[in-house]
Amino acid sequence: MPAATRMLRPAHLTRSIPSAIAGTQPSISFEFFPPRDDAAEAVLWEAIRRLEKVRPTFVSVTYGAGGSTRDRTIRVTERIARETLLTPMAHLTCVGHSVTELRGVVGSLSAVGIRNILALRGDPQGGAGGEWVRHPEGIDHADELVSLVRLLGAFTVGVAAFPDQHPESPSLDFDAEVLVRKADAGAEFAITQFFFTREAYVGLRDRVAARGRDIPIIPGLMPVTNVKQLARMTQLSGQPVPASVTSRLEAVADDPEAVRQVGVEITTELAQQLLAEGAPGIHFITMNRSTATLQVFDNLGLTAAQ
């Protein structure tokens, strides 16, 4: 392309997540979900503006199960790219999409300058652990989506990882093999499903390393702010919550502020243990709120990798 017609993209858009997390500072990143309506979108933007101040390494927006929430995912990701100095990463799933449609979504993300994509299969239409049915002209697994996205342009691609075993997986060893397969397809980093013990993370990391791979695995942590939300998230994701966590939260269940404080303590303790283990950063599942996440961030005393 002649230099005169090449579009210059701002540095925050073209920043490569794998390069940023390879630095000496831990990476800090925030995950949002697509808001359901305009009021929820306003709440999300308030959180984004507050979280932007701590200059995270990147932020991401999950890909909805279908229709209008998907449009909102793309719209919010584009708006982050256009109106903030944050590096956006778009989640993308194979659910209900033909390969042609997937190409179209990747093209529209590329058109607004997004360079980092989290390539996922998505949960079966019936929810986590249900029977997976591929779109007749679609893709079966995330490793194939990694290959497709890599073919379509100069993207860096991340993938999901599961310290507590994916609900459809036969074993923790199989999960490690799947992660190696995704790395072989071109994934440069992984972000985990939320989990609650240091042992779960270390186990996954060591199983992957034993297979000769050192793909960076960023722990995904969810600061719990209420007991009902925790129950809903664990039901949706099919992930277990240890009794050591539920008992601490249930002990203060009648006091919403105490639940939030205990949730912040639990996440801070786990993040400290994981960083001490050499985790490349922390990915916060924010639930589109900022207060608890910022408290954990402050407790950790970090500056994010840029």
User: Could you tell me which stretch among 96-104, 168-176, 245-253, 266-274 binds ligand FAD (CB under 6 A)?
Assistant: 168-176
Looking at the DSSP bridge assignments, the partners of residue 217 are 190
205 in contact with ligand FAD (CB under 6 A): no
Instruction: Indicate the SS3 state at residue 148.
Output: helix
Return d(Cα 148, Cα 50) in angstroms, integer.
35
Query: Could you say which of 143, 198, 266, 280 contacts ligand FAD (CB under 6 A)?
Result: 143
Instruction: Give the shortest CB-49-to-ligand FAD separation in angstroms.
Output: 22
* 74 belongs to the binding site for ligand FAD (CB under 6 A): no
Q: Should residue 57 be labelled a site residue for ligand FAD when binding is judged by CB under 6 A?
A: no
Piece in contact with ligand FAD (CB under 6 A), picked from 101-109, 118-126, 225-233, 247-255: 118-126
Neighbouring C-alpha atoms within 13 Å toward the C-beta of 67: 2
Whether residue 222 contacts residue 287, with contact meaning beta carbons closer than 8 Å, is answered with: yes
Q: Which is nearer to ligand FAD, 127 or 256 (CB)?
A: 127
Residue 93 touching ligand FAD (CB under 6 A) = yes
Please, which residues have CB within 8 angstroms of residue 51's CB and are 6 or more apart in sequence? 30, 59, 286, 290, 293, 294
The answer to whether 75 contacts ligand FAD (rule: CB under 6 A) is no
DSSP conformation letters of 229-259: HHHHHHHHHT----HHHHHHHHTTTT-HHHH
> Does residue number 297 form part of the binding site for ligand FAD (CB under 6 A)?
no
Among the listed residues 31, 78, 144, 188, the single catalytic one is 31
Of 160, 208, 294, 305, the one binding ligand FAD (CB under 6 A) is 160
Return contacts of 46-53, CB within 8 angstroms, 24+ apart: 46/290, 47/286, 47/288, 47/289, 47/290, 48/80, 48/84, 48/86, 50/290, 50/294, 51/286, 51/290, 51/293, 51/294, 52/84, 52/85, 52/86
Annotated catalytic residue 137: no
β-strands 27-32, 116-120 pairing? unpaired
User: Phi/psi of residue 170, each to 5°?
Assistant: -75, -25
Instruction: Please count the residues of this chain forming the interface with ligand FAD, following the rule CB under 6 A.
Output: 24
- Tokens encoding 142: 């995330």
Q: Helices 243-250 & 256-276, crossing angle to 10 degrees?
A: 150
Here's the x/- map for ligand FAD, 207-236, by CB under 6 A: it reads as: -------------x----------------
Which residues inside 169-198 make contact with ligand FAD, applying CB under 6 A?
169, 174-175, 178, 181, 191-193
Nearer to ligand FAD, 71 or 250 (CB): 71
How far lies 142's CA from each of 157, 184, 281, in Å? Answer: 11, 12, 23
The answer to whether 89 contacts ligand FAD (rule: CB under 6 A) is no
Among 121, 205, 207, 260, contact with ligand FAD (rule: CB under 6 A)? 121
Minimum CB distance to ligand FAD smaller for 178 or for 259: 178
Among 45, 63, 195, 284, binds ligand FAD (CB under 6 A): 63
Residues in contact with ligand FAD by CB under 6 A are: 62-63, 91, 93, 118, 120-123, 141-143, 160, 166, 168-169, 174-175, 178, 181, 191-193, 220
